[in-house]
Structure 1
Amino acid sequence: MLRHMLCAAVLGIASLVQSGWTADVAVAEFGAIPNDDVDDAAAINSAVAKAQPGDTVTIPDGTFLLADTVVLKTGITLKGAGQGVACLVFSGDKPHCLVRMQEAENVEVTGMTLDGGNNPKAQQGIVGPKCNALRLHHLTIQNFVDTGAFGPHAILCSGTSNSMISDNTILNMAPDDEWGAGIRMSESCSGNRIERNIIHNTGRGGIFTNNGATDMVISENIITGSHGITFAIEVHSGSVRTVIEDNIVDHGLSIVSANCAIRRNIVVDPTGTWGTYGIEGGGGPEGVVTGNVIDYGQGQGISLSGASHHMLWARNSFSNCSQWGIQMQGPALDNKIRCLYFYDNTFRKMKKGHPSARYPGHDGHAIRFNNNTEYVVFDSNRIMDNAGLGVQLTSGEGINNICFINNLITNNAQGSINQYPSAPVIWENNLVSGNGANTQLQTQGFTGEPPVPSFSCPDTARVGVPVQFQSTSAAPGSEIDHVLWDFDAGVPVMAPNPTYTYQRAGAYRVSLIVWNKDGRGARPAEKVIRVSAE
């Protein structure tokens, strides 16, 4: 018996050593007393200073005032008794953020409310420059107002990587300030995930990435009450390889960085507030936009004004926009939008005469070409019930090599299409009926054949095990010039024979689209692969 007790003691000591002798450090032991209307920042910082990597600094029930910033360090967890239970509230006359960590790793903040107290000197909620592996979750961050400076943000990170921001509630972030926002990741942040946050009532919008913040995942967030520019999510200025999926937002997904994926988002605002765009940019060049629903509250369903190229738009629905379903406006004759493929989308019920329309008298059309666009295909889409035209071309300048095949174009009040320049066009197998004028085009000017996409891959796969995909596509009379894979997860891939590793079990629709050297694309080849956990 004694021998067994000694062995258990040795094992227990070994376990403590292995775990780093972690401990809870209570802020009350350093003088932080709840609800006493006395500044608690110094006491909380003393507890943090005492804590060792792996320790948890604990905050009990009650309200604690912060006349200075709580500064965290590597390896520390700051844990409150719960959201709405443990509350850290801005106080004092000194401008500061509430919580900050800099050049720190493995920091966790959870289980509390951070409240700006509607004080203009509350600069930001949590600030994390040049950090790694932060975990910011189950927090409520609220009640910030115009500071006269950049922000405020509930969470602001720059140069931070491999971090998770999840399951937070963010409310009332300076709704009257054009920069009031929920979460911003900037300045070369990389590999971060922003998931399952609820963000409401902001001056600019919910989630922003910019200045080279790459390889992000933004998923399952709910964003409402976006004011000002009304971008619920903005992926900007070199934020390449970002995945935006399964979010529910009120207004714009402004995704103007390359090689992004936008999947299964819902963009709708039934409250009577109208924003500018449902989707801007779409994550191109080399982006995919699939399975999204854009409805009430958007001026344009899609706005494309940069030189986007080689993109797939599939199985999206755009309805009830007050201006247009989509506008394509290439920058210049020598810098066009090109090589886009629109497959199995719906464009319906665009409005005419709505007070939110930016360009009254030019509204109500489903698809609008505003010059400098080529090699765009509309295949098997439903273009119907619009108050204007099904398809509108403005001057037709720089428009050529457009394909309309297998589309349903019906019940558009002003007609199916208004004009087309003397340039190559394919118009085949479109069902045109019930429009104000059932105008149809004649195929002209196209030569050669489109490519034929095809690929091979297993029917099944396992989580965590790489899957090999192989393109067997052909380009009769030409050569394959560009390939774009969508694995229904992760970012699009341009390699002809890539591997991909799924992280979750489920059924995934894999799509491969190819373009030949002439710029022609063809309907994507598709296959469902079933991924199991074992």
Structure 2
Amino acid sequence: MAEWACRGGDPQKRLRRRGGKKEGKWRRGQTESNLRQTKGWMMMTKLREKPASAKRLRRAGLWLALLLLLPAFPAPTAFAATIDVVSFGANGSDSNDDAAAIQSAIDAASSGDTVYFPPGTYYLSANLQAKSGIKLIGQSRDASILKYTGSSGGAILSLNNTTNVEVAHLTIDANNSASPSAGIWGEPGGGHYIHHNRIKDLAKSDGFAPFGILMSASSNVVITDNEFSNIGVNSMWGGAIRVGWGSDAPVIERNTIADTGRGGIFVNDGVDGAIVRNNVITGSGHHSEGLGIELHTDVNHSLVEDNQVDHWLSVVRSEYNAIRRNTIHTTANTVKGIGLEIMSNHSVTSDNLVDGGQQVGMQQSPGTGYQLWNYNTIRNIVMWGMQLQGEGTGEIEQFQYFYKNTIEDGPIGHPAAAYPGYDGNAIRIHGNTRNIVFDGNIVRNNGRKAIEITGAAGTDRISFINNTITGNGGPSIDQYPSSAADLEWSNNTVSGNGTDTQLTSRGFADPKPTASFSAPLSVQLGQPVTFTNSSTDNGTIVENLWDFGEGVPVTTVSPTYTYEKAGTYRITLVVWDDTGRANIQERSILVYEGPPDTEAPTAPTNLASPSKSNVTVDLSWTASTDNVGVAGYDVYRGGTLIGSTTGANATTFTATGLTPSTSYSFTVKAKDAAGNESAASNTLNVTTDAGDTQPPTAPANLTNTAKTDTSVSLAWTASSDNVGVTGYDVYNGASIAGSTSGAGATTITLTGLSPNTSYTFTVKAKDAANNVSAASAPLTVTTNPAANWVHCAGENNPCNFTGTKEVRYGANGIYAYGTFTNTVMCSNHGFGGDPVPGYYKTCDVNLASEGGGGGDTQAPTAPTGLTSTGKTSSSASLSWTASTDNVGVTGYDVYNGGSLAGSTGGATSITIGGLSANTAYTFTVKAKDAANNVSAASSAVTVTTDPSGGGGEPSETGTIVREYWTGISGPTVASIPLGTAPTGTSVLTSFEAPSNWGDHYGTRIRGYIVPTVTGTYQFAIAGDNNTQLWLSTDDSPANKSKIGEVVDWTNEREWNRTSSQQSGSIALTANQRYYVEILHKEESGGDHLAVGWKVPGSSSFSVIDGANLAPY
């Protein structure tokens, strides 16, 4: 399955960081305004004024007299000139070539001069070369147009080997030429200021190009307020802006980008201090990828903020970056890979919105750590709301804190879903994932599972705390792996899901650290503020990740920061200890303009108690006022602070933990962000009620209503109480295992238990006054042995077995369960409903469940009717009549004499390849079941292969043989054990393997291509995951060469996702045999494989039919 894992590095060799010392590096804390001031450039607001004026003329005589009296001094520097290109022969009102005239004007300019383009269209048959320090300025981008008519490569406007060039108010129109590599290209250099231009219609489709603006080894470049459109829409590299290879401190702001081949903005390979902000990007990836914004490889200490993109915001293989307040949303009905892909150490991803149009909403790729993801909203995502994928990467997903994100409204059945049936899951955790915290997130109204935990190995040490999981169509969460030692499941609200699963915490002997810091509530703009870290741990804190809400993250223990803009900011500290456990604290700070605030709020008034109980008092008051703003209120009982509220209108509070029939006095004080506190409110005296001291009666009739290998369901008779029962606590021994809420909530299912283990449960009732009943009578339950699920029937067929067994019915990991004796109809009626509407379902029987009498020991019946259905000089095709079994036949083994020659997974036909010509072979078949019972052998059939037909002689066509190896780990075809016997074989009647066949398997398909027409052909391969296509120049495998490959994945029959899928043109001769071989490796999830060709005279690929295939 396509996992949308981190792309392991840009394959284009050009994307390497260039050598040499980096200059002008942006240091943490240095702001955009600092950068602009230190580099000495300014926005041009008007052309320089002419030096003469009426006032100067009136004073000319006085100046002359003074000059005659003064001694001689060197002449002052001349004013910068404005050079009009028209004065050098350019004409914006005709269609003649203006390139030479404009270049002459540029050549005549000196540093500081302006080369001015009056309104008009100027035609360029050649590229232009700028000079350092000059300004190339038009009247406006609508009025001053440079239109390219040449045929040279390179850039239309070259800034190579220049510094401090300003380009503004121009349109650079490539005129749909396939020649230019860029509109503007600078390498090396720096200090350029490129703004308010329009760059359009670059049509180059080959090579590492085209780009609207390309900067390399050019630091301190500012690219703002430009428009880009139609940049390389047929190129895999086509992009509006690319800045990289040591180009530190670029500022890329407020650009509008539409329609690119690959994407909008790229910053890559060794760039420090990039600012990418307030850009609007649509039409990304007409040819490939669809990357709205990408920061790739050592792009550090950078900001990506407040952008609007249609697809794929990616920050990978980098560190100390902040990704804030971006919107990833498309209105064009397009679907691409990922919304937010962040693989950046010591980084924060906050307050972003991903709304539809992506297969995966949010993904952290493995190999990095110490990231905070908070307050992001992910909705309407085609496949998965978010994914953690460690499986198959060789690395671990770790040290991530997901805090107060919302993942909602993931649909089922989106027509663009890459793998139908797997869509609609909100959170997907797929192997090799450790030390992850989900804290305070909302997961709601998704079509399938809220949290999917796949069967991939390596998931452990995950904390789920304070989350709200509601309204999802499938289970709230999958069962936690039984092999995992550590799980924290605490204070999660679970309701209204297809199955409201609650897990049980276990392990985690090491406690979490405590995150804590202090800081003033307010600070004057421009003044430094110190955040004092007081976090603690029983071991060692190894990471302090700070997000100030502005600027880049830092990891200093107690940092000092100076804010650049006034406002209210959220400060967040996440700490990790040396065992990987983490915790978080956040506070807010008001950054205000003007002098320090020393004025206190007014005192709260009208303090009153609208209600009370025996142990609580509710308080309310009238809000205070303040010259800046009230930040909150402190509530005092007597002279002791008992609690606080936050916000100017937070004027209610409940005092708890009080004693019945006792008098208390309360006051309230207001406070502001500067720490000024008001005088106290009026004093309020309140006496608590007498209260309820009578506990409920003990629950009765505790029973076990159902159990599995990892869960136990309990029920009991309700308790009674003089006031009212509020809920029940269920104990496993002395520890609370679960709770219910409500007087009638007398059932619970406890999950996360261990197989074949004895547990003793009791239940206690409680009321609103926290009176707790005596315990119920204890109940001891032993969980079932570890489940052994075996397929027994497809939908609307009987599932037959022996004894009383647990059976499940469903698809795609969503099941209804029941316990039955000897048989059950695998149907909606048999299980009382449809667990997965719209999908074909199957039944599995748990052979380890109770009543099995020691398990299945009955072998299947022997196969009958073994016959040969076809043969060649190197293969024999066999078929037989199916066996029967008391539980179910799982497959067949085919023997050549006493040696295993092949196997099937249930099919009753096979083609055995690799045989010798003109040779007799004797075959038998044996059936097997899930308990490894093997039948007697079938009757034997003897087949003599055909004589060899000689090289190149037409072969019997119609099929090709597929060999497969199951239970194979590893992501590439190199992991297929080709030197061993395959697990089984099957026969294909076209060059396309079955889809969604299984997980963790490898395939080899080999045989012959037999064309019927002489001519030029082109081949292509599509598959998921890694696939290779090999073709020989004749019928000998020794002469094969690789002509196509899918490195990662494609959609089914998607022939043009990457260029590596397609061969070049290949000449074939009619009726000649050409050896062909396919290797395919599948990891997990959906899978497919197909080979297509373009036959002579055709313009499109089609799957190769069996009429042109022959077995090996």
Question: What band does the TM-score fall into relative to the shorter chain?
Answer: over 0.9
Amino acid at match of 1:320: N
2:551 is aligned with 1:481:
no
Give, in angstroms, the shift of residue 533 of structure 1.
Answer: 7.2
Among 562, 572, 586, the alignment partner of 1:511 is 572
Give, in angstroms, the shift of residue 354 of structure 1.
Answer: 1.3
- Aligned residue for 2:511? 449
- Alpha-carbon distance in structure 1 between the residues aligned to 2:179 and 2:262: 19
2:373 is aligned with 1:316:
no
- Aligned residue for 1:459? 521
Amino acid at match of 1:391: I
Question: After superposition, what is the alpha-carbon deviation per residue over 1:171-202, rounded to whole angstroms, capped at 9, x for unaligned?
Answer: 11122222111100111111011000000011
Give, in angstroms, the shift of residue 525 of structure 1.
Answer: 2.7
Question: After superposition, what is the alpha-carbon deviation per residue over 1:324-347, rounded to whole angstroms, capped at 9, x for unaligned?
Answer: 011101267973111111111101
Counterpart contact for 1:379–1:523, Cα < 8 Å:
no
Q: Which moved more, 1:498-507 or 1:169-178?
A: 498-507
- Alpha-carbon distance in structure 2 between the residues aligned to 1:344 and 1:157: 38
- Alpha-carbon distance in structure 2 between the residues aligned to 1:357 and 1:303: 17
Amino acid at match of 1:474: T
Amino acid at match of 1:379: D
- Aligned residue for 2:404? 344
- Aligned residue for 1:103? 161
What is the TM-score normalised by the length of structure 2?
A: 0.46
- Aligned-pair identity in percent equals 38
- Alpha-carbon distance in structure 2 between the residues aligned to 1:259 and 1:517: 20
What is the TM-score normalised by the length of structure 1?
A: 0.94
- Alpha-carbon distance in structure 2 between the residues aligned to 1:24 and 1:462: 44
Counterpart contact for 2:295–2:315, Cα < 8 Å:
yes
- Alpha-carbon distance in structure 1 between the residues aligned to 2:464 and 2:106: 64
Q: Which moved more, 1:381-390 or 1:495-504?
A: 495-504
Amino acid at match of 2:545: L
Give, in angstroms, the shift of residue 2 of structure 1.
Answer: 7.0
- Alpha-carbon distance in structure 1 between the residues aligned to 2:475 and 2:544: 35
Does the residue aligned with 1:68 lie in a helix, a strand or coil? coil
Give structure 2 stretches of 5+ with no counterpart: 1-57, 68-72, 596-1112
Does the residue aligned with 1:146 lie in a helix, a strand or coil? coil
- Alpha-carbon distance in structure 1 between the residues aligned to 2:549 and 2:65: 50
Cα–Cα, structure 1 residues 232 and 7, in superposed 2: closer, same or farther, change >3 Å? farther
Does the residue aligned with 1:35 lie in a helix, a strand or coil? coil
Give, in angstroms, the shift of residue 374 of structure 1.
Answer: 0.8
- Alpha-carbon distance in structure 1 between the residues aligned to 2:295 and 2:178: 27
- Aligned residue for 1:400? 460
- Alpha-carbon distance in structure 2 between the residues aligned to 1:466 and 1:91: 55
Does the residue aligned with 2:570 lie in a helix, a strand or coil? strand
2:291 is aligned with 1:231:
yes
Among 280, 290, 294, the alignment partner of 1:222 is 280
Cα–Cα, structure 1 residues 324 and 515, in superposed 2: closer, same or farther, change >3 Å? same
Q: Which moved more, 1:120-129 or 1:286-295?
A: 120-129
- Aligned residue for 1:151? 209
- Aligned residue for 2:1107? none
Cα–Cα, structure 1 residues 4 and 513, in superposed 2: closer, same or farther, change >3 Å? farther
Cα–Cα, structure 1 residues 61 and 232, in superposed 2: closer, same or farther, change >3 Å? same
Cα–Cα, structure 1 residues 420 and 85, in superposed 2: closer, same or farther, change >3 Å? same
Does the residue aligned with 1:339 lie in a helix, a strand or coil? strand
Does the residue aligned with 1:284 lie in a helix, a strand or coil? strand
Does the residue aligned with 1:226 lie in a helix, a strand or coil? coil
Among 482, 493, 513, the alignment partner of 1:431 is 493
- Aligned residue for 1:61? 119
- Alpha-carbon distance in structure 1 between the residues aligned to 2:59 and 2:147: 54
Counterpart contact for 1:306–1:331, Cα < 8 Å:
no
Does the residue aligned with 1:369 lie in a helix, a strand or coil? strand
Give, in angstroms, the shift of residue 81 of structure 1.
Answer: 1.0
Amino acid at match of 1:364: G
Counterpart contact for 2:182–2:212, Cα < 8 Å:
yes
- Aligned residue for 1:142? 200
Cα–Cα, structure 1 residues 3 and 225, in superposed 2: closer, same or farther, change >3 Å? closer
Residue correspondence of structure 1 range 5-20 to structure 2 within 5 A: 5-6=62-63, 17=76
- Alpha-carbon distance in structure 2 between the residues aligned to 1:467 and 1:474: 22
2:412 is aligned with 1:355:
no
Among 30, 42, 45, the alignment partner of 2:88 is 30
Does the residue aligned with 1:47 lie in a helix, a strand or coil? helix
Give, in angstroms, the shift of residue 144 of structure 1.
Answer: 1.2
Q: Which has the larger radius of gyration?
A: 2
Does the residue aligned with 2:401 lie in a helix, a strand or coil? strand
Q: Which moved more, 1:485-494 or 1:328-337?
A: 328-337
- Aligned residue for 1:523? 584
Question: After superposition, what is the alpha-carbon deviation per residue over 1:336-387, rounded to whole angstroms, capped at 9, x for unaligned?
Answer: 1111111111011112221222222222111110001111111111001011
Give, in angstroms, the shift of residue 149 of structure 1.
Answer: 2.3
RMSD in angstroms over aligned alpha carbons? 2.4
Counterpart contact for 1:68–1:96, Cα < 8 Å:
no
- Alpha-carbon distance in structure 2 between the residues aligned to 1:203 and 1:531: 45
Counterpart contact for 1:510–1:529, Cα < 8 Å:
no
Counterpart contact for 2:114–2:135, Cα < 8 Å:
yes
Give, in angstroms, the shift of residue 127 of structure 1.
Answer: 0.2
Question: After superposition, what is the alpha-carbon deviation per residue over 1:215-246, rounded to whole angstroms, capped at 9, x for unaligned?
Answer: 10100000001122111001112212221000
Question: After superposition, what is the alpha-carbon deviation per residue over 1:466-492, rounded to whole angstroms, capped at 9, x for unaligned?
Answer: 4332212112x2221111011112211
Does the residue aligned with 1:154 lie in a helix, a strand or coil? strand
Among 75, 78, 81, the alignment partner of 2:136 is 78
Cα–Cα, structure 1 residues 159 and 465, in superposed 2: closer, same or farther, change >3 Å? farther
Give, in angstroms, the shift of residue 460 of structure 1.
Answer: 3.4
- Aligned residue for 2:259? 201
